[in-house]
């Protein structure tokens, strides 16, 4: 049985948390936090794939929080949601926080689901890519070991201690 992708939504507005949780709950494993310290606790205890954080939080901005998460949990896909569309905030989010998407409020449910699905797909593809890179690094050792074993077999079978000798 495949588990649902895990998403953490951080917003200080309870109504916003409830509506996002209601909309996403059937497709994702949704965790919610209404402050930064609760969000950090969730990240420490749960395997979160995507973080969706409000930009205007009381403790720190969403971008600042995403920067912190980028350092501590670099594999987590980070997204900002905000009712403010200040171009400088958007640029900061993309550059400083390594933000995958900047979503403006009010958001459309289908659009939000699509963006989060794309983010979880990106997370999965990055993990698969990392695993393939590890496997690729192991391949030369495996191939070399197979060649050594093949040489031993040939040597034992044909007793080729001296290598190939050319006839005159």
pLDDT digits (tens, 9 = 90+) for 10-69: 999 999 999 999 999 889 999 999 999 999 999 999 999 999 999 988 889 888 999 999
Q: What residue ranges do the domains of the chain occupy?
A: 6-128
Q: Which of 115, 114, 73 is nearest to 97 (CA)?
A: 73
Q: Among residues 109, 119, 19, 138, which one has the least CA distance to residue 66?
A: 119
pLDDT at residue 69, as a whole number: 93
The number of residues making up the chain comes to 168
Each residue's pLDDT tens digit, 56-105: 888 898 889 999 999 999 999 999 998 876 777 677 667 777 889 888 88
* pLDDT value of position 130: 87
pLDDT, position 164:
54
Sheet with 29-33: strands ordered across: 29-33, 6-10, 50-54, 77-82, 101-104
Largest CA distance in the chain: 92
What pLDDT sits at residue 54? 93
Comparing CA positions, the residue from 12, 6, 34 lying closest to residue 83 is 12
pLDDT at 52: 96
- pLDDT at position 160 over 70: no
| CATH of span 6-128 | 3.40.50.2300
- CA–CA separation, 145 and 126 (whole Å): 29
Give pLDDT tens digits for 109-146: 999 999 999 999 999 999 888 888 887 777 666 667 77
State the Cα–Cα distance between residues 82 and 100, nearest whole angstrom. Answer: 14
Residues 6+ positions from 34 with CB-CB distance below 8 Å: 10, 11, 12, 13, 14, 17
């Amino acid at each position: 049985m495949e588990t649902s992708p895990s998403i953490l939504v951080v917003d200080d507005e309870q109504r916003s948390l409830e509506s996002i949780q209601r909309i996403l709950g059937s497709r994702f494993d949704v965790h919610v936090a209404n402050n930064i310290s609760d969000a950090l606790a969730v990240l420490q205890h749960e395997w979160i794939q995507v973080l969706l954080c409000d930009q205007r939080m009381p403790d720190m901005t969403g971008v600042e929080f995403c920067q912190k998460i980028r350092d501590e949990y670099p594999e987590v896909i980070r997204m900002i949601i905000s009712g403010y569309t200040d171009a400088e905030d958007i640029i900061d989010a993309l550059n400083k926080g390594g933000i995958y998407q900047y979503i403006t409020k009010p958001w459309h449910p289908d659009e939000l689901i699509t963006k989060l699905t794309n983010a979880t797909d990106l997370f999965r593809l990055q993990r698969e890519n990392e695993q393939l890179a590890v496997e690729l690094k192991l391949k030369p050792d495996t191939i070399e070991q197979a060649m050594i074993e093949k040489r031993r077999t040939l040597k034992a079978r044909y007793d080729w201690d001296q290598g190939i000798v050319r006839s005159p």
